[in-house]
Structure formats: structure tokens, C-alpha cells
Chain A
Amino acid sequence: MKRLSAYFCMMAILIIQPLSAQQSSLSSGESRGEPTQSVEIFEFNTLDKQNRAIHLARQLRCPQCQNQNLMESNSPIAKDLRLKVYVMVNEGKTDPQVIDFMTSRFGDMVLYKPKFEPRTYVLWLGPLLLIMVFGWLGYRKVKASIVA
């Protein structure tokens, strides 16, 4: 029991050995309720839903871990959220609905794909801008350097 506390009581601020945070698994025989087990053997109605759910879970960040998505992490909260994603997709919810569910509870940091909004314009448009700048500068340089 006490051993489990080491895995489950993560302090967001404390600097911890990040790897140990990922591999927090329960000692066998310890039942923490249905959800954490059934997420590993969850059955979907269609293969398409399974693929979509897994794809979506990969885009969502485990709120507690040091940079892992819901498919990668075995921490209890990741499993809970993963199961929630599976259940919602299986019920037929759309991707935006699932994403909305997560962000309204855990904030935008749980999305690995940043929303396209004013404060992320630099991020999404930056590369495009860079290509244009380099392209234009390069073109000018090449033309100026031609010595026929």
C-alpha cells in the first residue's frame, strides 16, 4: 500500500526522476477498480473507431507526466483519460467533442496540437514566413552573384 503512494502522489513541483513517473504500474493483484484494467482490453465496435481513438489519444497529453501522451503513459490518470477517450469515441462522439471535454477540465496544455489562435500565430505561421524570407533572400543573392 505504502509503496503505491510513491507512484501516485506526484508533486507537480518537485523535481523527480522522470522515468520513474512513467513506469508507475501497480503490484499485481491490487485492484484499483474496473477502469484501469479494462482500458487495456477495451473492445471497440468498429476498427475505424479503434484507429480514431488511438490516434486521438496520441494527441492528448498526460496532465501529470513529464511529457507523454495518453497512449505512452501507464500512470493512473493517463489510463483513466485514455479509457474516457475510448468510451467517448466508441459512443460516437466527434474528435472536437473529446478534445473539448479534456481541455475544459485540464486546460490547453493537455493538447499536443496547439489551437490556431492569435497567441499561436507565430508558431504555426513562423515556418511559412521563414521559407518565404529565405527564398526571397536566396533569390536576390543568386541573381546578384551571376557572373556570366
Chain B
Amino acid sequence: MIPEIALFSLILGTLCVILGAAIPLFGIATKQPHLSRYSWPLSYGAFAAVTTSICLLAYSFTLDDFSVTYIAQHSNSQLPVLFKIAAVWGGHEGSLLFWVFSLSLWSAAIAFINRHHNQAFISRVLIVLSLLTAAFGLFTLLGSNPFARLFPVPMQGRDLHPMLQDVGLIFHPPLLYLGYVGFSGAFAFAVAALTMPDINIPWPQWSRAWTLAAWVMLTGGIALGSWWAYYELGWGGWWFWDPVENASLLPWLTGTALLHSLIASEKRQALINWSLLLSIFTFSLSLLGTFVVRSGILTSVHAFAVDPTRGLVLLVILAICVVVPLTLFMLQSGKIKPLQLRSIASREVLFLMLNSLLVVTTLSVLLGTFYPMIFQVFNLGSISVGAPFFNAIFVPLALLCFVLMCIAPFIHWRKTNFDGLNVKLILVWIAAVIIGSVTSYLFNQTLSVFVLMVLILCAGIVMSALFAGVSIRHLAMTVAHIGVAITAVGILLVSYNSTEVSAKMSPGISVVLGDLSVTYVETEWVVAANFTAEQAVIEVVNASGELVQLKPQKRHYPVRVMNMSEPAIHSTWLRDIYITMGEKIDSNSYAIRIQNRAFINWLWAGSIMMMFGGILAIGQRYVK
């Protein structure tokens, strides 16, 4: 019964958005502007209906209703309740429903927050969002119905994939989807602006808050995914340049460019073309990412159970979302106020350079990700494009962005006032060099010039950001940029300073790794709700004599018949001690892999700072 109510709710929601697009459009066509009022109640109604639908699905999961195919495929009565709820988005159908839910959520939020602004314009924004929600709603209902029934009803479900049974899973997909979908807001604002008779309405300032919110969510989603991969997969890696990961990075890169471009558009009416195009392409890249994951067009460890026909629908939606806005853009580009600069040494130009760098990075990653597919289409043979290529391209471009970040606080809008600037600049750079060198000396063992350079650059970013001031006006930028610098330092040092050792260990055996002394104490047996495990008790003593105990496991999941190695991690600011159990070598010894992952937690801390900076930027608008 409940799944049927949920299905009905979804149908109702889809109906609401179809009407939410049709009625106002009809109003525009027949010159009855009062019909645009209907956008609001229909958006709220759709949100209520879709939320009901997804909540009922979650409820059905907790009831172990295995008569629903989706629940039978992704759940199990032994599964802890929290994971049953998380399983809602653990498979294709449920995650698509989550997309619809996210779209309706953002639409309702935009409708509510902007209800007092230019009604004719906001109504058009809501029309665009309604069309998107309708497209996905119909796709879910007709092609990926999470409420399809199963007969005969199985006694037990197939269980959630063990790798997904983790705290990280509970939050990573929702955050990611909210981020992806959030950019539909910026997209809608841009497209709506392109349809307005007067294109020079102040849409950038309204769009900016939503873009920031989406960016914060996407940053969180990506960081969480990295963190999850780090502690779950067992080899301490956090980014693999896998096609699906790249698919999430692409909208993040253009989203970052958009974020900055909107500032210029709002403050100086500059870079409007960039803001429009970036808005269109960021959401399109989100759609591309979804397409890549679900169609199986690219080989990836992340791909859902893939189905080319699903890919086709997403492809069509993507094509429409690119072609229509771009055509509108071509039509309207003459009406956009042209860029007016006073001097080359102005922040507008700096943002232009940043936009260019970020877009080049995006295109390069896109090229590398799709290159093997292009080879295959043109029968050029087989090729793999992986980390070595992407690192070679990404790192120099990122460093160039960092240089811009160091200069940014000193360059003013319109025209830089150079009085007294030289002194300040020199002071900041001396401070940066000193801090960079000291840090390098203290923390970096490899004596690499590259490491020294990057550390100085990061110190430069921090010093410049602090120089801009910690006043309310600049706090957001300061925090976010420092966050970037911290993340960069973390990435740099974890690559250069990490060490590891693998050894055959049994009770009593000790191994040395740098300043750590690692001893295997004993093996324990663990029985949990849906798995059993062999657990190694390992003690690690560092140079100061402090002792910590780590317990890595080799888990066996009986329902899906899978074995997983669960690492044990001890975290401090300077490093993670990361231990995994490998093969069982004989009756009481295992291959144990001990890693010293240096500065890895700076990565996560920096990401959180970036998110915090974004949140501050949203809040900043209301403090003024």
C-alpha cells in the first residue's frame, strides 16, 4: 500500500511541475502576466509531493518491504537502520528519485526566498526549473520506477553492497546530488535572463547566493567521497582520476569560475557573457556527469549497474539543456552591455584570467576523460588515460591559479591604486618565503625544490588573504582562500612525504617504519550484525613513547559472499597511521601493510574551510 501512495505522490509532484511550467508559459504566450503567479504554489506543491514520495520509500526500507524490487535488491533485514535509509540512494532508481527531490527542493527554496523580487523574471526562472523537474520526474516514472513490485516476494533482500555500508555513504551521494542539482538554479537564472526583453536586469546578484550554496554542497560531496575512498578502500589513496570522479570535478571547476564571475557581474556589470555561459555549462556538466555514470559509456569503478537506454534519455535532456540556452545566447548576445575596463591592472582582468584558467583545466580534464572513448569510436586502438596525464596537466594549471590568488587582494576593481602597494607586496612576499622555507625544512624530508616552491606559494596565498583583512567584507574570501592553501599543502605533502612498509606479521613480531615501532599483538574474532571478521590487534609506538592500538579487520559478508579488508587508522594533524590486513599467509600470520600518510588531514580540514568560506559568503549578503 505504502509504495503505491509514494508512487501516486510522485505522479502528483510531476503533474504539479508540468502545470508549473505550462500555465505560466501559456500566460506569457497569451499575454496574461497574472498567470505567472501560479509558479509559486505549484513549486511548493511539487516539493511537498516529491518529499512525501521519497520519505515513504525510506519508510518502506525500514519496514523491510521486499515486495518492492528496488528494496529487495539493495537491502536486507539484518542491515542496520541507518544503512537501510541510506540505501534509498544506493542504486539507480532511488538516486534518480533523489534527483527529482533535489530539483523540487531547490525550486521551492528559490521560489520562497525570491518571492519579493521581480515577479516576471522569477516566474521564468521557476518555469525553467519546473521543466527540468518534469523531465526527470517523467524519466523516473517511466523508466526507473523505484516502486516497481516484485513477485514472488523474496524472504530476504540481496543486501546493500558492503562497500556502501558506511557512514560516508550516508552523506556523500546526497551532498553530491544536491550540489549537482543546485547548479540548476544558476542555470535557470541565466536562461530566464536570456528570455527577458531587457537582459540587463540584475540577475547575477540573485543567482550568486544559489550558486554559492550549490558550490558548497558540491565541495562537500566531493571531499566526502574522497575521504570515504581514503578510509574505506584500503590503500590510502584519495583521488584516482576515475571518469566518474572527473565528472564531479568538472562542474566544480566551472562552478568555481562562475562563483567569481558572478561577483564581477554583480559589482561591475563585467564578465556577463562569462557568467551566462558558465551558468549554462556548469549545470550541463552536472548532467554530463550523471549521463557518464549511468550509461556505462566510460569504464569506471563507480558506475552503477549500467544501461545504455537510460543513458540515451539523459543524453537527450543534456543536449536540450545545451542547445536551447546557447541558441538563446546567440540571439541575445548583441543586447548585453559590453565590457568596459579602466585599466589592465584591475580585478576584472584578474577574474577573466582565472575564468580562462579554470575553463582550460575543465576542457583538459574533459579531453583526457573522453579520449579513450574517442579512440574507440574512430577505431584508433586501445588506450588508457590516467593519473600521470591528469596530474601533469592539472598541477601546473592549479599553480597558475595560486599565483593569481596571491595577487588578487592587491588588485582593485576598475583600477589599482598603486600607492604604498609596493611596500605591502614586498612585506607579504618576504613573509611567504620565510614561512614556506621554514615549513619545508621542518616537514619535508625529500629536499625537493618543487615542494619548497609550492609551500612558498601556499604561504603566499595565506599571507595575501590575511592582508586583505579579516573584516566582515573580506572574511569569506580570506577563509575560503586559506582553505585552498591548506588543502594544497595537504595534497603536496601526502604525495611527497608518505612512507610505507609491508611485512609478514604474527603475534609478537615487530616492524619499524620511520619513527614508528609497530607490533602485532594478537588476532581476534569479531561477529557483527551482517558480517564476521578476523581482527588484528596492533600496537604502534612513536618516537616520544606514545602508544596507540589499531584493529584492522578482514570482513566476510555472508549474504553477498564478499570479503572486504577494513583498514585501521589513527589520525593526527601531522599524519595518519594507516594499517591494513592482507593475505593470510599461514595459520597465524598475515601480510600487514603499514602506511604513514603524511598531512592527509590537512586535505579534509582545508575542504571544510573552503565550504565554510562559501557559507560565509552567502551570509555576508544579509549582514550588509
Contacts and interface: CB of A to CB of B under 8 A. Distances in A.
A146 B342 contact: yes
B353 interface: yes
A113 B389 contact: yes
B296 A15 contact: yes
18 contacts: A17-B305, A18-B300, A18-B303, A19-B161, A22-B301, A25-B565, A28-B554, A58-B387, A59-B387, A59-B388, A67-B240, A109-B372, A112-B384, A112-B388, A112-B389, A134-B360, A138-B352, A146-B342
A130 B389 contact: no
B381 to A, nearest CB: 7
Name the residue among A36, A111, A142 with the largest chain B CB count within 10 angstroms.
A142
Interface of A: 3, 6, 15, 17-20, 22-23, 25-29, 36-37, 40-42, 54, 58-59, 61, 65-69, 71-72, 107-114, 119-120, 122-124, 126-127, 130-131, 134-135, 138, 141-142, 145-148
Given A15-B306, A112-B385, A41 B364 contact: no
B233 interface: yes
Interface stretch (B103-111, B333-341, B430-438, B612-620): B333-341
A51 to B, nearest CB: 9
Contacts of B388: 59, 112-113
B299 A130 contact: no
Contacts, number: 154
Contacts of B296: 15
Contacts of B360: 127, 130-131, 134
A127 B381 CA distance: 22
Given A23-B562, A134-B359, A141 B161 contact: no
Contact of A6 (B352, B503, B561): B561
A138 B359 CA distance: 13
B513 to A, nearest CB: 11
B161 A27 contact: no
B593 A40 contact: yes
Nearest to A120: B383
Contacts of A141: 339, 352
List the 3 closest pairs (A to B, CB-CB), nearest first: A112-B386, A40-B591, A113-B388
Contact of B356 (A25, A42, A67, A135): A135
B302 interface: yes
A142 B349 contact: yes
Name the residue among A19, A69, A120 with the largest chain B CB count within 10 angstroms.
A19
B383 A142 contact: no
A17 B235 CA distance: 20
A19 B389 contact: no
Interface of B: 161, 163, 233, 235, 237, 240, 242-243, 296, 299-303, 305-306, 338-344, 349, 352-353, 356-357, 359-360, 363-364, 367-368, 371-372, 375, 380-389, 393, 397, 500, 502-504, 534, 554, 560-565, 582-585, 591, 593
A40 B233 CA distance: 16
A112 B383 CA distance: 8
B359 A114 contact: no
Contact of A112 (B341, B381, B387, B562): B387
Tell me the dominant secondary structure on chain B's binding face: mixed
A41 to B, nearest CB: 5
B564 A69 contact: no
A124 B340 CA distance: 36
Given A23-B562, A41-B585, 7 more contacts: A19-B161, A41-B502, A107-B382, A108-B383, A110-B384, A120-B371, A123-B368
Name the residue among B338, B585, B593 with the largest chain A CB count within 10 angstroms.
B585
A143 to B, nearest CB: 8
A142 B344 contact: yes
A59 B502 contact: no
A126 B367 CA distance: 8
B393 A109 contact: no
Nearest to B564: A23
A23 B163 contact: yes
Nearest to B338: A145
A136 to B, nearest CB: 11
Contacts of A130: 360, 363-364
Nearest to B243: A67
Contacts of B161: 17, 19-20
Contacts of B344: 142, 146
B226 to A, nearest CB: 15
A148 B342 CA distance: 5
A22 B585 CA distance: 20
A127 B299 contact: no
A129 to B, nearest CB: 10
Contact of A111 (B343, B352, B384, B564): B384
A66 B300 contact: yes
Nearest to A110: B384
A18 B342 contact: no
Contacts of A65: 301
B342 A147 contact: yes
A67 B299 contact: yes
A32 to B, nearest CB: 10
B235 A37 contact: no
A142 B322 CA distance: 27
A145 B389 CA distance: 37
B390 to A, nearest CB: 9
A36 B385 contact: no
A123 B371 contact: yes
B446 to A, nearest CB: 10
A17 B163 CA distance: 12
A101 B584 CA distance: 30
Nearest to A107: B382
Contacts of B583: 25-26, 36-37, 40
Name the residue among B306, B375, B503, B593 with the largest chain A CB count within 10 angstroms.
B375
B386 A113 contact: yes
A147 B341 contact: yes
A146 B341 contact: yes
Nearest to A28: B584
Nearest to B241: A112
A120 to B, nearest CB: 7
